[in-house]
A and B are shown apart, each in its own frame.
Chain A
Amino acid sequence: MRNPRKKHDELRVEGIGVCQGVSIGRAFLVDDPQGRIVRLFLPHEQIESEIRRFRAVVQVAQRQVEEAIDRMRTALGADRAYILEAHLLLLQDRGIGKQIEDFIRENNANAEWAIKDVTSHLLELYARITDDYLRERGSDVVDVSQRLIKILSGTKNYDLNEMADGAIIIADDLLPSVAADLDPHRVIGFVTNAGGWASHTSIMARSLNLPAVVGARNITSMVRSGETLIIDGTTGTVVLHPSPETLLFYTELRERQQQQYIHDIRDRELPAVTRDGIEIKLRANIELVEEIDIFQRFNAAGVGLYRSEFLYTQATDGLPTEQQQFEAYRFLAEMSGRDGAVVRTFDLGGDKLHLEGYEIERNPALGLRAIRLSLAAPAIFRTQIRAILRAAAHDDGWPRLKILLPFVTNLDEVRQAREIITRVERELIEEGIPHAAKVPVGVMIEVPAAVLIAESLAREADFFSLGTNDLTQGMLAVDRGNENVSSLYDPLHPAVLRAIRWVSDAAIKTGIPLNVCGEMASNPAQVILLLGMGMTDLSMTPSSIPMIRRLVRAIDLAKAQQVAEEALRLTTPREVHAFLTKKMPEMGEQFLATGQG
């Protein structure tokens, strides 16, 4: 045991700063990537009620599985339900149940943690099995434990809501779904072991405008919940056990940054027009309708990307209903004003939503996800489209929402989706339900295949949205969340720049609007290239808008075109970085960074 009163020396850990600003707060350790499992130390008098909570959840899970078995028997015959029967037997297994209850008792643990610990031990045993087929059955254990944890998180939230105000989340890495559990009024920052500039934690931090440092190796083993720490998201520094002098320094720095923020707010009404008079649309990327408040603060030209799958990750029981979706989209449409909002249909895959009757996927990133899943499960897609079409309606006849199809690799996917949309519209007319007509349908360009067929796609799409993060990953075959190779992730790679140019040319040639919605749109040097390549419609995390507005107002588009022309002739990422570092001071402002964190 460490003596809690022992005085620690100040300790600095360097990581990658991914959202600017200083936070001083108390550490809150989160132990699993979904952010649902936190380790608590329960007081003795709470142990028995925790065990009752666990038992109750097992009952609920059994009922759920029994109902699923009945449904499956009816639909597919008795033979197909056997996997679920194995799940049921796992839930009824007294041995495992007792191990979990003992764990709760002996460790004063919460049920989530006990389930995680016991099942990971079981999985280790499974991993030793040599027969491939039998070893794979470990996935049954994973499935069942996830079901239990999901139900637990929907009952009483022993999760992020347990933390005090002013919490800095410390985790290995965070999945997008964690955003659903976060109370933005209580969290003031993030630090993770893993991740880079474009990892999910980073995107989420920027969308909530909270200081964050990622790639701070071993941070989870160095910090304990409740300790005071400082994070500087501008430099990527984390300070543990800060001395009084350090605390004073950062308190003053935070004060100065808040002044700058007030300055940005004051300038938000200034038009985003280049010195040679070209208007640039600066829109907001948002994940939660709650963020609307943040984006209005920066005067965004509507929402360029609304990631609708967060509705799913937020829901406690399965997919959101048509009515739930309608209400969220309606709110989005109303708050976005005349510029409207682009709703990207669910980008869900096997890691989040597993369709009954399909194999568990080893590599969900290249699996049945996004538009593929929507077309494979048209009922889910139809429900979403109905909700969007209904919510898009406005008195003046102009739809306030647009539909964006993610992860398109094939023109047929666009055609099929359009057919479904047309059918849904016809149904709404027949049913006499108010809805918007002629809602634009756009295609997300984020896969190399879509780049190469951009012109054909452009002839059948109403607009393009360029997702530079996934496109960079796909073009370079790099997983940006994998620290071993994340340094190879680089939107300034000549292949990525040329792909973007190709898409831009296709959009200009066919006359459809093109919006850029990846992280590139919030990086000053990269924005200059985007503008120079002909893009005038950018969507970004709301907190980046003031900086990009200053940049746009400071440059000449003609000069940006020259810079882009020259950059496109370079052959290595390093040359591009060096070139931009040289050019940036000439662009008239103090925007020096070329991008890589």
Chain B
Amino acid sequence: MRQTELHITNRLGLHARAAARLVRLANQFQSQIWLARTEVGHQPADAKSIFGVLLLAASQGTLVRITVEGPDEEQALLSISRLIEEKFGED
């Protein structure tokens, strides 16, 4: 299992387009991937479910924890981190 924490930095946050990109990317990996807000009391969301990701309601500045577990976890964590760091290709 691998984990990392990242800030959502693009202006609109994890809105429909960004979430769609993230979910499509997550679905390319065999590993299970979760996304969670770091504040106490938040349930992790399945990164392969658009609904879960949208419900995170991660606006700009939110710190999210990414947890990956599975055969391709290293590559998955890297790709998803890069997508978030690159602001989903926006801004």
Identify the A interface with B (CB < 8 A).
82-83, 85-86, 89-90, 92-96, 122, 125-126, 129-131, 133-135, 137, 140-141
Contact = CB atoms under 8 A, between A and B. Distances in A.
B14 interface: yes
B15 A93 contact: no
A90 to B, nearest CB: 5
Q: How many of chain B's residues touch chain A, expressed as a range?
A: 20 to 34
A86 B16 contact: yes
Contacts of B59: 131, 133-134
A85 B46 CA distance: 18
Interface centre among B13, B46, B50, B58 (most CB of A within 10 A): B50
Nearest to A94: B49
27 contacts: A82-B17, A83-B17, A85-B17, A86-B17, A86-B20, A89-B19, A90-B51, A92-B50, A93-B50, A93-B51, A94-B49, A95-B46, A95-B52, A96-B49, A122-B51, A125-B55, A126-B55, A129-B57, A130-B57, A131-B59, A133-B13, A133-B15, A133-B59, A134-B57, A135-B57, A137-B16, A140-B54
Contacts of B52: 95
Contacts of B24: 85, 89
A86 B50 contact: yes
A126 B58 CA distance: 12
A86 B14 CA distance: 12
Contacts of A140: 16, 54
B28 to A, nearest CB: 13
B-side interface mostly? helix
Contacts of B23: 89
Nearest to B60: A131
Contacts of B58: 134
Interface string B33-48: 0000000000000100
B19 A86 contact: yes
A111 to B, nearest CB: 18
Contact of B15 (A94, A95, A126, A134): A134
Contacts of A82: 16-17, 20
A237 B36 CA distance: 56
B12 interface: yes
B13 to A, nearest CB: 6
A94 B16 CA distance: 18
A83 B49 CA distance: 16
Nearest to B19: A86
B57 A90 contact: no
A130 B56 CA distance: 11
A122 B49 CA distance: 13
Given A95-B52, A125-B55, A134 B14 contact: yes
B14 A89 contact: no
B42 to A, nearest CB: 12
Nearest to B59: A131
A83 B51 contact: no
B16 to A, nearest CB: 4
Contacts of A93: 49-51
A90 B13 contact: no
A77 to B, nearest CB: 14
A89 B18 CA distance: 12
Interface string B66-86: 000000000000000000000
Contact of A133 (B12, B20, B51, B55): B12
